[in-house]
């Protein structure tokens, strides 16, 4: 067990929050001390996994934000906008963010990593990669040298992103997607499972297949639908 010399409050009480709790607890120097969610989502009894659940709107008065970190553990709902909205709200009010980088990930020494970033096991993140803020990188991806991953991106598992790629803000990268080297994926794209991306994309489209082509309609996946209020945050 690592030395628990830092404390973190996890934002969320869903599946991603539970997984974050597990990883922070068993593979980091953070002690999880509480969860926080919007008032409507506070469970009966005010506890989750035996820890207090604070009202996010009043988190300021519950914790000392100069001492305690937060981690926004929300998945890709509304094409990452729900996580982005809460991340920005907390950032603009002076909270500091924890990162979770698995001890079983390979991360080269000069990789630049932003805030509120989660990198799970068996990722290979090579020389000079840059990762923005609020990015989730699930297990087992290869992120090639000099690639840039912009903020609020979600990468599922076993993607191969070759060298010198540029993955735009808020994209979702499905399992087993492959990117040739020097590919630019414009912001707000959804790259389907197993897609082989051989050319730069346009923004805000869903790409599937080998070679990847845009779907005519936006995805029927409800989880990716962005509400009007969140489109331009």
Ligand X SMILES: CC(C)(COP(=O)(O)OP(=O)(O)OC[C@H]1O[C@@H](n2cnc3c(N)ncnc32)[C@H](O)[C@@H]1OP(=O)(O)O)[C@@H](O)C(=O)NCCC(=O)NCCS
Those residues whose C-beta lies under 8 Å from the C-beta of residue 122, and which sit 6 or more positions away, are: 102, 104, 105, 139, 140
Burial of 43 from C-beta contacts in 10 A (0-12 / 13-18 / 19+): exposed
With CB under 6 A as the contact rule, the residue among 15, 209, 225, 231 that binds ligand X is 209
Taking every pair of Cα atoms in the chain, the longest distance, rounded to a whole number of angstroms, is 52
The neighbour count for residue 175, using CB atoms within 10 Å, is: 15
Of the pair 63, 173, the CB lying nearest ligand X is at 173
- Site for ligand X contains 14 (CB under 6 A): no
Of the pair 92, 220, the CB lying nearest ligand X is at 220
**Beta-strand pair 112-113/69-72:** unpaired
- Least Å distance between CB 19 and ligand X? 11
Q: What is the torsional sign of CA 81, 21, 222, 187?
A: positive
- x/- mask, ligand X, residues 151-190, rule CB under 6 A, reads -----x-----------------xx--------------x
- Least Å distance between CB 32 and ligand X? 22
With CB under 6 A as the contact rule, the residue among 19, 33, 196, 215 that binds ligand X is 215
Nearest CA-CA partner of 209 in 192, 226, 222: 192
Region binding ligand X by CB under 6 A among candidate stretches 4-12, 55-63, 163-171, 191-199: 191-199
Residues numbered 85 to 114 that lie near ligand X (CB under 6 A) are: none
Binding site for ligand X (CB under 6 A): 156, 174-175, 190, 192-194, 206, 208-209, 215, 219-221
């Amino acid at each position: 067990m690592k030395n628990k010399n830092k404390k973190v409050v996890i934002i969320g009480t869903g599946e991603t929050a539970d997984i974050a709790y597990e990883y922070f607890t068993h593979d980091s120097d953070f002690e999880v001390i509480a969860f926080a969610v919007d008032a409507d989502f506070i469970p009966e009894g005010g506890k989750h996994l035996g820890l207090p659940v604070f009202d996010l709107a009043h988190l300021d008065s519950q914790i000392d934000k100069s001492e305690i970190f937060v981690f926004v553990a929300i998945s890709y709902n509304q094409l990452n906008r729900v996580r982005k909205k809460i991340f920005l709200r907390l950032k603009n009010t002076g909270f500091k963010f924890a990162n979770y980088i698995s001890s079983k990930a390979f991360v080269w020494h000069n990789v630049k990593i932003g805030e509120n970033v989660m990198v799970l096991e068996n990722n290979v993140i090579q020389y000079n990669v840059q990762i923005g803020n609020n990015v989730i990188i699930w297990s087992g991806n290869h992120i090639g040298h000099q690639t840039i991953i912009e903020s609020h991106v979600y990468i599922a598992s076993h993607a191969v992103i070759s060298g010198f790629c540029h993955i735009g803000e808020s994209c979702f990268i499905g399992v087993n997607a492959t990117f040739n080297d020097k590919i630019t994926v414009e912001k707000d794209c959804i790259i389907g499972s197993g897609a082989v991306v051989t050319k730069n994309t346009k923004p805000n489209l869903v790409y599937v297949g080998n070679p990847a082509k845009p779907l005519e309609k936006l995805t029927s996946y409800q989880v990716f639908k962005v509400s009007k209020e969140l489109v331009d945050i």
